[in-house]
Amino acid sequence: MALHRIVDLIPKLIDDKNWDPNLPVAIIERSSCPDQRVIRTTLSKTAQAVEACGSRPPGLLVTGYSCEVIFKDQDQLKEKGWIIEEGYDYTNDNLNQFISLASTSIKKDTNFIQPSVDGAAATPPPDTFIT
């Protein structure tokens, strides 16, 4: 999303579409990169935050209560209007943990026989695992 256009978008969401001005918002820029930045705020303060902090494309605007799930310091957010989180924490990479767990739990099912499309005899699956 072109975050510089957010100044025009926010009033339309609040005034025309009746979105809650206190709706939690996260602006995620350069996701999963070492210079990732997440700006947490509310819908009504989003344009101010982007104007004050600048923009690092590519950026993604995420709205909704899911933005509060992993962010616990709501008092700090209320105090300052927005919170900036810099950098991507590679030590807390849940994706690699998920892939590791998924690949160890996949078991070869020897009873599975792949059906034939052309009417020929069915063939057993290859002896490979997903890694």
Taking only the tens place, the pLDDT of each residue in 85-123 is 887 766 655 666 666 766 665 554 445 555 555 655 555
The whole-number pLDDT of residue 19 equals 95
pTM, whole model, 2 decimals? 0.61
**Model pLDDT for residues 42-95, shown as the tens digit of each residue:** 999 988 888 888 788 888 889 888 888 766 666 677 777 888 888 776 665 566
Q: What are the extents of the domains in the chain? A: 3-92
Q: Domain 3-92 belongs to what topology? A: 3.30.950
Kind of pairing, strands 24-29 and 83-86?
Answer: unpaired
Residue 129 scores a pLDDT above 60: no
The whole-number pLDDT of residue 55 equals 80
- At residue 18 the predicted structure's pLDDT band, cuts being 50, 70 and 90, is very high
